[in-house]
C-alpha cells in the first residue's frame, strides 16, 4: 500500500470535536487506498500547562523527569485519536515513542532522532492495521528513558517517519492554510504560495516564520521528503495548501519569495576591542559556551589597534551575553571599553532562490527602506537571503514596504 504521513498540531486536536475533524481527514485518506501514519501533538495549551507544573514542583528540575511529564500530553492525544478512528471503523492503534521505538540521543529536552526501525509498525500494517497514531515530540534514549525533541518537535517526528517509511508525502495540518509571502496579519496583500523550495522554507523558518519547525525542514531537505502545509479547518481541494519541495519541482519562481521578520532581537556592541589575531574566537567562544545564539556579526575597521564588534542575539539572551563578556574580560581573555545593548530592534529578511541569478536585489531592498525613512543598523547576506536589523518601531512598515517593492502579491 502507498503510505502517507499526516501530522496534526495542537490547535488541530484542541478538543474532542477537533480530534473527530482530524480523524475524518485520516479516514478519507484510508478510503483513498493509503496506509497512514498519524503524528499528533498535545492538545492546545496542554504542554505549557505541564511545563508550568514541572516548574512549580521543582525550579531546578531533573531533565529526565521533565521529559516524562511533558511528553504525556501527546500520549493522551494519540489514544483519543486512535479511539475516534476505531469508532469510524478504521483499524487504528496508538503508539508511544518507546513502542516504535523512536531512538534518540540522551539530550533530555532537546534530543536528536537517531533511528526509527520499521519492523514493529510494518508488522501491524501487515496484520491489517490501517492507521498508526504516533505520539509526536518524544522518543527513547539509549538508557531507556523517555526523551523529548524540543518545542515544535512533532513536525520533526513527522518528517522523520516520512523519511524512514519512504512515504509518498508528509502533510502538516495546522491553523493556517499554507505558507504565505509574509505574515497576513501584518500585510493584507500577503499571498499564499502554491510551492516553495526547501532552502527558501528553511530560511523563512529560521528567520521567524512560525509555520514549520526549522529542524523539520532541514530533515525534509536532507531526505527529500515532500511536505505539504494545510489547514485543519478547511476542506482540501486540488492544489490546497503549500507544497515544500526540491527546487527542481518549481518551474519558475520570483526573485524574492517571501519577507520574514523576527521581532525579539537585540543588537550588542563591544566598544573598542583590542584588535589582534584570535579576538573573534575569544569573543564568540564564551558566548557559545553561555548558550547565546549569535546571528548577525559586524566588525568595524580597526583604528589604532582597536575595533568595535557588533552582533545580534535574541533579546532574552542579552543578560547572558553581557555576563559572558564581562566574565571573559575579568579573566583577561578580551579587552573592551564598554558593552552597549539595544533591545529595541528587529530583523527583517527577504528570501528567494531567484537571488542566485538576479542582480540588484540588495539595492532594491535598501531603496525601499530608505524611501520610508528606515535606517539600517546591520546587514548580512547569503546566497538566497538578505537580512537587516532596524528599529523595532518600524517593523510592520518595513515588512509592508518590502512586500510592495518586490510585488509579492503578484503570481510569478
Say yes or no to pLDDT of 292 above 70.
yes
Average pLDDT on 358-366 reads 91
Q: Model's pTM, two decimal places?
A: 0.82
pLDDT tens figures, 379-405: 998 888 999 999 999 999 999 999 999
C-alpha torsion sign, points 158, 246, 26, 162: negative
Average pLDDT on 300-305 reads 82
The CA angle 233-91-153, to the nearest 5 degrees, is 50
- Record the cell numbers describing residue 260, joined without a space: 520574514
Which of the four pLDDT bands, split at 50, 70 and 90, describes residue 237? Answer: low
Which of 103, 99, 93, 211 is closest to 149 using CA atoms?
A: 103
The CA-atom distances, in angstroms, between 361 and each of 351, 352, 353, 370, 389 are 10, 10, 12, 14, 17
Task: Calculate the average pLDDT of the chain.
Answer: 92
Say yes or no to pLDDT of 192 above 70.
yes
Which of the four pLDDT bands, split at 50, 70 and 90, describes residue 412? Answer: low
Which of the four pLDDT bands, split at 50, 70 and 90, describes residue 252? Answer: low
Neighbouring-strand partners of residue 144? none
Say yes or no to pLDDT of 268 above 80.
yes
Rounded to a whole number, what is the distance in angstroms from the first to the last CA of the chain? 37
At 288 the pLDDT is: 94
Min mean pLDDT across 90-104, 114-128, 195-209 is at 195-209
Tell me: cis bond preceding 186? Omega within 30 of 0 counts. no
pLDDT tens figures, 36-88: 999 999 999 999 999 999 999 988 899 999 999 999 999 999 999 999 999 99
For 207-228, b/e burial (b = at least 16 CB within 10 A) is bbbebbbbbbbbbbbeeebbbb
- Record the cell numbers describing residue 6, joined without a space: 499526516
The CA-atom distances, in angstroms, between 148 and each of 89, 118, 324, 325 are 32, 20, 28, 32
248 Cβ contact partners less than 8 Å away, ≥ 6 residues apart? none
At 175 the pLDDT is: 82
Neighbouring-strand partners of residue 173? 8, 230
Neighbouring-strand partners of residue 345? 265, 391
Average pLDDT on 114-129 reads 97
374 Cβ contact partners less than 8 Å away, ≥ 6 residues apart? 390, 391, 394, 397, 398, 401
The answer to whether residues 145 and 64 touch, using CB atoms and an 8 Å cutoff, is yes
Say yes or no to pLDDT of 122 above 70.
yes
Which of 241, 238, 261, 243 is closest to 253 using CA atoms?
A: 243
- State the Cα torsion 365-367-373-377 to the nearest 10°: 50
Amino acid at each position: 500500500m502507498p503510505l502517507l504521513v499526516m501530522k496534526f498540531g495542537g490547535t488541530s486536536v484542541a478538543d474532542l470535536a477537533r480530534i473527530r475533524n482530524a480523524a475524518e481527514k485520516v479516514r478519507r485518506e484510508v478510503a483513498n487506498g493509503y496506509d497512514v501514519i498519524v503524528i499528533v501533538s498535545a492538545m492546545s495549551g496542554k504542554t505549557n500547562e505541564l511545563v508550568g507544573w514541572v516548574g512549580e514542583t521543582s525550579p531546578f528540575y531533573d531533565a529526565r523527569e521533565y521529559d516524562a511529564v511533558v511528553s504525556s500530553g501527546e500520549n493522551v492525544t494519540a489514544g483519543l485519536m486512535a479511539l475516534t478512528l476505531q469508532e469510524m471503523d478504521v483499524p487504528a492503534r496508538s503508539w508511544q515513542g518507546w513502542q516504535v521505538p523512536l531512538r534518540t540521543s540522551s539530550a533530555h529536552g532537546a534530543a536528536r532522532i537517531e533511528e526509527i526501525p520499521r519492523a514493529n509498525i510494518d508488522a501491524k500494517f501487515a496484520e491489517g492495521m490501517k492507521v498508526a497514531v504516533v505520539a509526536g515530540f518524544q522518543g527513547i534514549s539509549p538508557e531507556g528513558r523517555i526523551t523529548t525533541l524540543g518545542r515544535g518537535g512533532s513536525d520533526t517526528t513527522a518528517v522523520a517517519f516520512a523519511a524512514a517509511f519512504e512515504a509518498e508525502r508528509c502533510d502538516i495540518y495546522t491553523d493556517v492554510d499554507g505558507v504565505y509571502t509574509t505574515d497576513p496579519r501584518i500585510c493584507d496583500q500577503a499571498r499564499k504560495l502554491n510551492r516553495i523550495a526547501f532552502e527558501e522554507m528553511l530560511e523563512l523558518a529560521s528567520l521567524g516564520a512560525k509555520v514549520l519547525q526549522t529542524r523539520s525542514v532541514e530533515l525534509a531537505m536532507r531526505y527529500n521528503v515532500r511536505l505539504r502545509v494545510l489547514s485543519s479547518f478547511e476542506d482540501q481541494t486540488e492544489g490546497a495548501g503549500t507544497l515544500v519541495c526540491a527546487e527542481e519541482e518549481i518551474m519558475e519562481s520570483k526573485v524574492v519569495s517571501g519577507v520574514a521578520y523576527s521581532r525579539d532581537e537585540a543588537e550588542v556592541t563591544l566598544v573598542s576591542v583590542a584588535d589582534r589575531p584570535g579576538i573573534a574566537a575569544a569573543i564568540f567562544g564564551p558566548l557559545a559556551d553561555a548558550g547565546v545564539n549569535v546571528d548577525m556579526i559586524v566588525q568595524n575597521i580597526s583604528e589604532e589597534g582597536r575595533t568595535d564588534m557588533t552582533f545580534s542575539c535574541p533579546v532574552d539572551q542579552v543578560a547572558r551575553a553581557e555576563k559572558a563578556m564581562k566574565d571573559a574580560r575579568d579573566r583577561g581573555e578580551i579587552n573592551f571599553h564598554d558593552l552597549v545593548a539595544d533591545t529595541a530592534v528587529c530583523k527583517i529578511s527577504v528570501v528567494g532562490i531567484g537571488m542566485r541569478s538576479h542582480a540588484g536585489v540588495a539595492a532594491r531592498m535598501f531603496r525601499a527602506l530608505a524611501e520610508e525613512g528606515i535606517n539600517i543598523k546591520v546587514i548580512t547576506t547569503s546566497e538566497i537571503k538578505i537580512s537587516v536589523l532596524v528599529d523595532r518601531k518600524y517593523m510592520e512598515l518595513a515588512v509592508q514596504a518590502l512586500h510592495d517593492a518586490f510585488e509579492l502579491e503578484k503570481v510569478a
